[in-house]
Amino acid sequence: MSAGPRHVHIETFGCQMNEYDSELVRALLKREGFVLTADRECADVILMNTCAIRENAHTKVYTHLSDLKALKKSRPLVVGVLGCMAQNLKEELTKQEPLVDLLAGPDAYRQLPMLIQNAVHAQEQGGQAKALAVDLPEYETYDDIIPARIPGVNAWIAVMRGCDNFCSFCVVPYTRGRERSRDPQGILDEAARIAGEGFKQITLLGQNVNSYRSGDWDFARLLTAVADTPGIERVRFTSPHPKDFPPPLLEAVVFHPKICKHIHLPVQSGNDRILDMMNRTYTRREYLALVDRIRSMNPCMALTTDIIAGFCSETEAEFEDTYRLLEEVRYHSAFIFLYSERTNTIAARKYADDIPQEAKSRRVTALVDLQRRISAERNREYLGQTLQVLVEGDARKSSLQAMGKSDGNITVIWEKTDVQCGPGQMVACSIYDVSASTLYARATRPSEPSPPKMEQSCTNIVQS
Ligand code: 5AD
Ligand code: SF4
């Protein structure tokens, strides 16, 4: 290992909260003199920020770890596992994975510089000292750390960490600990700094973001205050729980011109017995009543969801309840997951994971096919309309095309020759073709910032 500053490469898996946490880790390491590198080949230290939420996330991390074996044989290298897997699988990872030198759970990142130094030192002495930091301080919110963000259009702010909901399938309460909210002033200062750095969109993050509470600040008040930050064009939030949608929050989302008209509303199942076993705390009827309430305030609100198919003891008839719920709500899009049992969860302890893999896959496929059809139909509703689009950059498939997101978070693509624009700008896109995932448009003109017209029922649509 070379003398001088250590070069650290971070690979991030999983959710947006993990992306945000990697930004915190980058800031913490930079502060201590480490150099961050995008190139794993020239790194002295490789850190993997991991996700444990589903089986495939877990498998992906193991595959990447085994990829590192050859690299570690060829030169001195410290390998660290951060995040939810580090927290949840400490014994397995340290005992069975000689490759791993250090582990740090999501609330232990302040200890990372010290852990890395120790691991490097041990390696230089010809040994391997396993370094572990996986305790969960109930209070850690990293309030004083300014994340080292990669410049772009969207900046994330974690407003709360952890979760107290204990949905029976979910490992998050165990890997990320108890729910705690950040001080609102710290969040608003961060929003102002982000706007000053040129970001145009802020996404507020939390495992259970709408249960944010700090003194007399609830999530509606926080969201509105962030959306009032000068220079910020759009504010999004993820992921909320359907149980925490009081009228002031719905009013903020519906009426504030800077808050995107999109609500991610994870339902998980359309059947009451399964919802109860999942400990979701709402019934199908209550959930549908919330959807009705949202749509009665704004019929054009884009709704998306998460679904788990093949949860413990789910019968075909119960699965069909979920299928019919998708048909009834007609979400713009949905993330559909096959149930995978996670160590330590309530479901793992209480219920048998008894749905055969074949039946789980069949149910997932049926839901994915249905949702694809609905998404395409939903997208066809935009044909001929002109949408405000926040430009993100080049389209994935062609650098001759640009892409951005509609207010409802749908990907929009157009030819760069249509209009001169760059990331962070708003353009008006008139939609002429659609697929299940994308709107194809002519970008007609850079548009004015969205007018604060409250009476408009479809505030994400502008007339050309
Ligand atoms: N199996 C399958 N999907 C899961 N999710 C969380 N835990 C599991 C699990 N054990 C899904 C839920 C959640 C999303 C982030 O991941 O749908 O909303
Ligand atoms: Fe997991 Fe439920 Fe908390 Fe979401 S609300 S993080 S699914 S326990």
pLDDT one-digit tens code per residue, 130-174: 777 776 666 889 999 999 998 899 999 999 999 999 999 999 999
Q: Are strands 45-50 and 160-161 parallel, antiparallel or unpaired?
A: unpaired
Q: From the CB of 176, is ligand 2 less than 6 Å away?
A: no
Q: What's the CA dihedral at 242, 334, 60, 53 to 10 degrees?
A: 10
**Residue 238 Cβ < 6 Å to ligand 2:** no
Provide φ and ψ at 189, rounded to 5°.
Answer: -65, -40
**173 compared with 464, residue with greater pLDDT:** 173
Residue 264 CA to residue 318 CA, distance in Å, equals: 23
Q: How many residues does the chain have?
A: 464
Beta-ladder partners of 390: 405, 426
Segment 95-113 shows an average pLDDT of 87
Task: Select from 17, 54, 167, 178 the residue to mutate for testing ligand 2; criterion: most ligand atoms less than 8 Å from CB.
Answer: 167
Is 428 in a helix, a strand, or coil? strand
CA distance 390 to 406: 7
Q: pLDDT at position 121, please? A: 87
Nearest CA, atom 6, ligand 2: 207
User: Which residue's CA is minimally distant from atom 1 of ligand 2?
Assistant: 170
Going from the Cα of 238 to the center of ligand 2, the distance in angstroms, rounded, reads 12
- For residue 295, report the distance from its CA to the centre of ligand 1, in Å: 26
Ligand 2 within 6 A of CB of 335: no
> Tokens 């994975």 belong to which residue?
97
For residue 337, how far is its CA from the centre of ligand 1 (angstroms)?
A: 7
pLDDT(61) > 90 = no
Whose alpha carbon is nearest atom 2 of ligand 2?
167
Between the CA of 267 and the centroid of ligand 2 the distance, in Å, is 11
Per the listing, tokens 């729980």 go with: 241
Of the pLDDT bands very low, low, confident and very high (cuts 50, 70, 90), residue 107 is very high
**Among candidates 249, 270, 368, which has minimal Cα distance to 328?**
270
Tokens at residue 419, please?
Answer: 């209009």
- In eight-state DSSP terms, residue 418 is G
- Output the 3-class SS for 129-192: CCEEECCCCCCCCCCCCCCCCCCCCEEEEECEECCCCCCCCCCHHHHCCCCEECCHHHHHHHHH
Is the distance from CB of 16 to CB of 24 less than 8 angstroms? Answer: no
> What backbone torsions phi and psi does residue 134 show, to the nearest 5 degrees?
-130, 20
Nearest CA to ligand 1 atom 2: 339
Q: State the Cα–Cα distance between residues 123 and 328, nearest whole angstrom.
A: 59
Give the distance (Å) from ligand 1 centre to CA of residue 54: 6
Lowest mean pLDDT among 82-86, 231-235, 293-297, 377-381: 82-86
Q: Give the Cα separation of 129 and 116 in Å (integer).
A: 10
**Amino acid sitting at position 227:** A
Nearest to 418 by CA among 435, 395, 438, 436: 395
Longest dimension (CA), the chain: 70
Answer yes or no: are the C-beta atoms of 226 and 188 closer than 8 Å. Answer: yes
Asked if residues 336 and 329 have their Cβ atoms less than 8 Å apart, the reply is no
Query: Cα 243 to chain center, whole Å?
Result: 19
How many whole angstroms from 173 Cα to the centroid of ligand 2?
A: 7
pLDDT digits (tens, 9 = 90+) for 160-172: 999 999 999 999 9
Q: Please give all residues whose beta carbon lies within 6 A of any atom in ligand 1, as ranges.
A: 53-54, 169-170, 266, 268, 306, 308, 337, 339-340, 342
**Nearest one of 294, 437, 460 to 388, comparing CA atoms:** 460
How high is the mean pLDDT of the chain? 91
Q: Quick: pLDDT tens for 259-300.
A: 999 999 999 999 999 999 999 999 999 999 999 999 999 999
pTM, whole model, 2 decimals? Answer: 0.92
Q: Which ligand is nearest to the CA of 167?
A: 2
* Cβ partners under 8 Å of residue 276, min gap 6: none
Closest CA to ligand 1's atom 16: 53
Residue type, 32: E
At residue 387, φ and ψ (nearest 5 deg) are: -115, 145
* DSSP 8-state secondary structure symbol assigned to residue 451: P
Question: Region 173-180: what's the mean pLDDT?
Answer: 92
pLDDT at 449: 52
Distance, CA of 218 to CA of 72 (rounded, Å): 48
